[in-house]
């Protein structure tokens, strides 16, 4: 399950930073942003999710893309149960 949640967080990072903000994106950059080298990966994924929420909030013009992502994310999470 941890791997699945990790993939969701990394994908959200890609959508926000690459698609919405137009920044160069790479998987290693996402992991550095998440600070995944920390010995508490679950805590880091929670913190990353909170930081992503804050970043989305700074870009109200991307609300439609965020809704699309959240719908996709819900479908992915349903597959875990």
- In this structure, the number of other CB atoms found within 10 A of the CB of residue 15 comes to 21
Q: Report the alpha-carbon distance of residue 39 to residue 43 in Å, rounded.
A: 9
Task: Please name the residue ranges forming H helices in 1-81.
Answer: 2-14, 27-34, 41-57, 63-80
Q: Domain segments of the chain: what residues?
A: 2-80
Q: Indicate the pTM of the whole model.
A: 0.80
The 10 Å CB-count burial string (b at 16+, else e) for 36-58 is eeeeeeeebbeebbeebeebbee
Per-residue confidence band for 2, with pLDDT thresholds at 50, 70 and 90: confident
Encode pLDDT of 28-75 as tens digits: 999 989 887 777 888 989 999 999 999 999 999 999 999 999 999 999
> Token pair of 31, please?
């992991």
Is the pLDDT score of 3 beyond 90?
A: no
> Token pair of 74, please?
């819900």
Residue 37's pLDDT is: 72
């Amino acid at each position: 399950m941890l791997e699945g949640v990790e993939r969701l967080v990394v994908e959200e990072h890609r959508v926000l930073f690459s698609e919405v903000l137009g920044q160069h994106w790479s998987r290693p950059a996402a992991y550095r942003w998440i600070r995944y080298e920390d010995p508490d990966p679950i805590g880091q994924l929670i913190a990353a999710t909170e930081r992503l929420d804050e970043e989305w909030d700074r870009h109200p013009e991307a609300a439609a893309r965020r809704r699309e992502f959240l719908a996709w994310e819900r479908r992915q999470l349903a597959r875990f149960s």
